[in-house]
C-alpha cells in the first residue's frame, strides 16, 4: 500500500489598511516531523494600527517559513511566503505596534492564540468478536485551531479549522448519523484501530470525537442503513485484520459492533444492491489478492460468503455505479500496482463480466464516478498518486470509456471527490495532495474539461477528502483527513 511520507508547511499572512497606515508583520514557523511523531511550533504576529488625518504610507508583510521532514522514504524542505500590501491615497499618519503570540501543537494537545484548549481522551474497549459488542471512548473537550491567519477577503474557502482525532486518520466521510439534520464527521483512525464520530453542533463546528474500537488498521468507510431501521450504520474495512466491522446505529449516533471475516488485505468498500432484491450488498477490493469480492445480503444484517472476481494488481479503490444505463450497478476499480482501471459490467443477479481495462497514470489510488460533461453518462475520475495528476475518462456510451485526459495537481494526490462547488451545475474536482499538504480545486470549464487547480493549505499528509455542506448555507464545504497531523480539517466555503 502506498503510505504518504511528505511534509510541507505553508504560512500565509496578509495585512490590509483601509486608509493610510504603516504596518510590518513578520511570521516564522518551523516544523519537524518524522513518520511517527509530529511537532509543530508556529508564531503568528498580529498588528494593530492607529490612524489620523495627514499623510499616506503603504503596509508591508514579510513571511518566512521553513519546513523539514525526515522519514524512511522521503525528505522535503519547502518555503512558501505570501505578501500583500495595500496603500491608500488619503492624508493620514499611522503609528504601529506589534505583538507576538506562540502556539504549539502535538497529536494530543492543541494550544493556539485564537482558541486555547487541551483535548484528552481515555479509552475503554471491549474485544471485538462475531457477536455484538460495543466499545466507546469519549474525549473530554473540544479543541479547535486555525492553521493560517489572514485579514484579506476570503477566496472561495476559508482557512481550515482543525479537530484532533486519533492516530493516522485514513478515511473520512460526512453524514448525519444522529438525526439532527446536521452532517457529522466519521473518520477511520488507522494508527489507533478506532473509528471516530464528531457530532456537528451547528454552523460547521464539531464536538470532540467519540471513538469505537474496530479491527487492525481501518482504512475505508461506508455509511448506509444496513438493517433497514431508518438509522445510518457504519461499515469499516480493516486492512490489517482481514475483516469488516458493521457498527449498527443504536440511536442518537451511538453504535454497536458486529464482525464479518473477509479476504486478504481489504482496502476499499462500496455498499449497494447489486442483485435487485432491495437489500444492499457489500463489495470489497482485496489489495493482497488482486480481486474484488461481492458479499450478497442474506437478510437480517447477514451476508453470504464473498464471490471474487480477478482485477489488476493491488486494487486500492472500488466503486459500484451503473455505467452502461441498464439499471444494474457495475464495478469500477483502480489498480495501484498495474496503473489501470477495470470495469466489470453487471450481468444480473449480482454476477459480473470479466474486467475491461483502461490505462491511467502511475499508482492510481482513488476513484470517483460522476457525469462531468452533461451527457447523462457517468465518467471516471482517478487520482494518480505517482504521476501527480488526476485522470478523466469520459464515457462514450454502453459502459466504454475514452483514454484519460490528465490534469496536473499537487504532489502525491491520494483522494478525489467530484462535486459542484461554485453553483454552476457543473461538477468540479477536489483532490487531497498528500505530498504537498494541500487540497486542490479544479473547476469544471464545461464539456468535461477542467481549469488549473487552486490550492488551499491543510494539515500534514492529507489522504482523504469529502465535500459536503456542513453549516447549512447551501454551499459545499471541504473536509479532509490529515494523516500526518492526526486531525481533520474543515474548510468552510465563503
Residue range 207-219, pLDDT digits in tens: 999 999 999 999 9
Is 182 part of a structural domain of the chain? yes
Note whether 41 and 165 are same-domain residues: no
Span 190-208, average pLDDT: 97
Note whether 127 and 101 are same-domain residues: no
**What one-character-per-residue DSSP string does 69-114 give?**
E--SS---EE-----------S--EEEEEEEEEEEEE-SSEEE-SS
Is 245 part of a structural domain of the chain? yes
Is 7 part of a structural domain of the chain? no
- Final residue of a structural domain among 72, 105, 138: 105
Mean pLDDT, rounded, of the chain:
77
Span 297-306, average pLDDT: 86
Give me the CATH number covering residue 206.
Answer: 2.120.10.30
Note whether 232 and 206 are same-domain residues: yes
Q: Which is higher by pLDDT, 433 or 115?
A: 433
Note whether 251 and 199 are same-domain residues: yes
Q: What percent of the chain has pLDDT above 90?
A: 63
pLDDT of residue 153: 52
Is 13 part of a structural domain of the chain? no
Which strand (E) or helix (H) includes residue 454? strand 454-457
Note whether 387 and 250 are same-domain residues: yes
Note whether 140 and 98 are same-domain residues: no
CA angle 187, 192, 195 (to 5 degrees): 30
Is 9 part of a structural domain of the chain? no
Note whether 185 and 263 are same-domain residues: yes
- Among the listed residues 197, 191, 195, 242, the one whose alpha carbon sits nearest the alpha carbon of residue 217: 191
- Among the listed residues 98, 87, 120, the one whose alpha carbon sits nearest the alpha carbon of residue 27: 98
Instruction: Look at the chain and report how many structural domains it folds into.
Output: 2
- Final residue of a structural domain among 45, 76, 105: 105
Q: Which is higher by pLDDT, 456 or 15?
A: 456
Q: Which is higher by pLDDT, 76 or 301?
A: 301
Is 10 part of a structural domain of the chain? no
Q: Which residues are within 8 A (CB) of 172 and not within 5 positions of it... i.e. 6 or more apart?
A: 185, 186, 187, 188, 221, 464, 465, 466, 479, 480, 481, 488
Is 85 part of a structural domain of the chain? yes
Note whether 222 and 253 are same-domain residues: yes
Note whether 386 and 425 are same-domain residues: yes
CA angle 144, 148, 152 (to 5 degrees): 120
Note whether 126 and 71 are same-domain residues: no
All cell numbers assigned to 73: 522514504
Span 258-280, average pLDDT: 94
Q: Is 225 exposed, middle or buried (0-12, 13-18, 19+ CB in 10 A)?
A: middle
Note whether 138 and 275 are same-domain residues: yes
pLDDT of residue 154: 67
Q: What is the Cα–Cα distance from 414 to 233, expressed in whole angstroms?
A: 25
Span 470-483, average pLDDT: 98
pLDDT of residue 10: 36
Q: Residue 82 sits in which domain range?
A: 24-105
pLDDT of residue 87: 32
Is 325 part of a structural domain of the chain? yes
- Final residue of a structural domain among 52, 72, 105: 105
Does 137 score more than 50 pLDDT?
no
Residue range 414-459, pLDDT digits in tens: 999 999 999 999 999 999 999 999 999 999 999 999 999 999 999 9
Note whether 276 and 353 are same-domain residues: yes
pLDDT of residue 227: 85
Residue range 366-401, pLDDT digits in tens: 999 999 999 999 999 999 999 999 999 999 999 999
Amino acid at each position: 500500500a502506498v503510505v504518504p511520507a511528505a511534509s510541507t508547511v505553508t504560512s500565509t499572512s496578509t495585512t490590509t489598511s483601509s486608509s493610510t497606515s504603516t504596518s510590518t508583520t513578520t511570521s516564522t514557523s518551523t516544523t519537524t516531523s518524522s513518520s511517527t511523531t509530529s511537532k509543530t511550533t508556529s508564531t503568528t504576529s498580529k498588528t494593530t494600527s492607529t490612524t489620523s488625518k495627514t499623510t499616506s504610507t503603504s503596509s508591508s508583510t514579510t513571511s518566512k517559513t521553513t519546513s523539514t521532514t525526515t522519514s524512511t522514504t522521503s525528505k522535503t524542505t519547502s518555503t512558501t511566503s505570501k505578501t500583500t500590501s495595500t496603500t491608500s491615497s488619503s492624508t493620514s499618519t499611522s503609528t504601529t505596534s506589534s505583538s507576538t503570540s506562540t502556539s504549539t501543537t502535538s497529536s494530543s494537545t492543541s494550544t493556539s492564540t485564537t482558541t486555547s484548549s487541551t483535548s484528552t481522551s481515555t479509552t475503554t474497549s471491549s474485544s471485538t468478536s462475531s457477536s455484538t459488542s460495543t466499545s466507546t471512548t469519549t474525549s473530554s473537550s473540544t479543541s479547535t485551531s486555525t492553521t493560517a491567519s489572514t485579514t484579506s477577503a476570503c477566496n472561495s474557502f476559508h482557512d481550515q479549522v482543525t479537530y484532533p482525532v486519533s492516530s493516522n486518520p485514513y478515511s473520512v466521510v460526512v453524514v448525519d448519523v444522529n438525526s439532527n439534520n446536521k452532517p457529522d464527521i466519521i473518520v477511520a483512525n488507522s494508527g489507533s484501530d478506532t473509528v471516530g464520530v464528531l457530532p456537528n453542533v451547528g454552523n460547521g463546528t464539531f464536538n470532540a470525537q467519540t471513538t469505537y474500537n474496530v479491527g487492525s488498521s481501518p482504512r475505508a468507510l461506508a455509511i448506509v442503513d444496513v438493517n433497514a431501521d431508518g438509522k445510518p450504520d457504519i461499515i469499516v474495512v480493516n486492512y490489517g485484520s482481514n475483516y469488516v466491522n458493521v457498527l449498527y446505529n443504536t440511536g442518537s449516533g451511538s453504535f454497536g459492533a458486529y464482525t464479518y471475516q473477509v479476504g486478504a488485505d481489504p482496502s476499499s468498500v462500496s455498499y449497494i444492491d447489486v442483485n435487485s432484491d432491495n437489500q444492499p450488498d457489500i463489495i470489497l477490493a482485496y489489495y493482497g489478492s488482486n480481486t474484488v469480492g461481492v458479499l450478497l445480503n442474506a437478510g437480517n444484517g447477514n451476508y453470504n460468503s464473498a464471490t471474487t472476481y480477478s482485477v489488476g494488481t493491488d486494487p486500492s479503490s472500488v466503486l459500484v455505479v451503473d455505467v452502461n444505463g441498464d439499471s444494474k450497478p457495475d464495478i469500477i476499480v483502480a489498480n495501484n500496482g498495474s496503473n489501470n482501471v477495470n470495469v466489470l459490467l453487471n450481468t444480473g443477479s449480482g454476477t459480473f463480466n470479466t474486467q475491461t481495462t483502461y490505462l491511467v497514470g502511475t499508482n492510481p489510488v482513488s476513484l470517483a464516478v460522476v457525469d462531468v460533461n452533461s451527457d447523462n453518462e457517468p465518467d471516471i475520475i482517478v487520482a494518480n498518486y505517482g504521476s501527480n495528476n488526476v485522470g478523466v475518462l469520459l464515457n462514450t456510451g454502453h459502459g466504454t470509456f475514452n483514454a484519460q485526459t490528465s490534469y496536473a495537481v499537487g504532489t502525491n494526490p491520494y483522494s478525489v471527490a467530484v462535486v459542484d462547488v461554485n453553483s454552476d451545475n457543473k461538477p468540479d474536482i477536489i483532490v487531497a495532495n498528500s505530498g504537498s499538504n494541500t487540497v486542490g480545486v479544479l473547476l469544471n470549464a464545461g464539456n468535461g474539461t477542467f481549469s488549473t487547480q487552486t490550492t488551499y493549505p491543510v494539515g500534514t499528509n492529507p489522504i482523504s477528502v469529502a465535500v459536503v455542506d456542513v453549516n447549512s448555507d447551501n454551499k459545499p464545504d471541504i473536509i479532509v483527513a490529515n494523516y500526518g497531523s492526526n486531525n481533520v480539517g474543515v474548510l468552510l466555503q465563503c
